[in-house]
Structure 1
């Protein structure tokens, strides 16, 4: 790990970049003028309604199996992207090893596991991995950005859920993780358990972490005295709150938490994961042709070893080679 990213200073530098996320447009394709307009993804109303009906029949634990089978066939959404000449993608710029700007990289380009996947999708659709317009999207803006047409897709550690399938379409899963607790090494917190009683816990607005915290507090799984009122637009902001002593713990995806622990040696994961969640590429309802194209990319990405190569480069140091996350999840289509 580059020395510039070690410890609190590295995290502080990363956190400072959060402000830039509000600008959204970060890196434009080399072939496009600055300020190229966003567009609304075409999609037939009938297709959108059919997708909605499938989402209504979704059951917990099966959301990742609701995506259509891979296909190389074109369609209105893919044709519009090819005609425009670049792919517009919502990403993170502050998640270490997932989507971030490495301060030790003079090029200033985004790097990480999610970014590698975006470049592969662009290559398959447009024949050029660099024909991408990246837009920094806060956690709570992922779905609005897709529905409004500001982006063609979001590739940003986004968990596939039944509720979200009513609002956006998802690819087949490309990563397996689970919720986990992050806290200072000196903290008496031992995990997602009774040791959170009386503790202040931070999560991102619109995240599955907050959904679990809220539901578990209501049904008594989480101690009634646990304070879950601290929510932030970007997940990394929780780590900053933790460092400032404003909260006692963070609940987020274990894959993200592991990367944050790698940045800051004063914090660590507490206990194991307490959920099973799958990341997917999110797109607009009705854009089935684009979803099928992305699923085709994912099939090839797994088979040709590119997924594993990206994992080894960005995530093996923090997640290990023997974890459930070290193997791409199996795709099951509707």
Structure 2
């Protein structure tokens, strides 16, 4: 299926961020890996990044992936990293508290420690790690394999509430520090980049059934309130026509085709991509390249 090149590839001199989201189990990780391999093959220095604690990008790439950036199989332009939420959270909390110890008494510090034990802190720490990567200039394309939909939405909503974090760090009567102002500026730049459709492609992956389509639509509507548009809808695990030769698979494929049409009606302003179901596990660079050549034409 033909895709507008702007959806996948960066405009000269700009960075492209490509997010893959959707409910659990729809194939976000596979799509992120296929896309990262494709953009790297096209000559763009690419970082594949996962914010999903349960991600298995290492299994799909057939290469160990850690919280340190790894060159994948010595392939030119292809790198991957996995955000370690626990480590990122501890680093973030220590950074906040270290700044505060020079300003406040022990009672205030204890109150801040309690505040920092909230789930919001873990998500903010993960997003700050993403900002560290996206706010730099080392990569032309960053492909993001996100956690399931609800977690992703919370992650994207966090920076909109950045002022509360700043106030907690600064205190009631203390002005924003120079370091916090620099960090806020970086957050703002990344958020503006995410709202810019030339610089960020937000994609929902779904298999062609009612529930994944409905969940993706609800999430896309919530993203609109953040100023982020859905540019790509991926229908995954489509039964190939040549394999729909028994009554069971014929019926399943017919059902899927109907839902693929519903996807087009649900996301009329998005590009659409159909990815076939494969008889074997999607794994390794050779298979990822082969699939990319078939679906990105």
Larger Rg: 2
TM-score, normalised to structure 1's length?
0.26
Q: By percentage of residues, which structure has more helix?
A: 2
TM-score, normalised to structure 2's length?
0.28
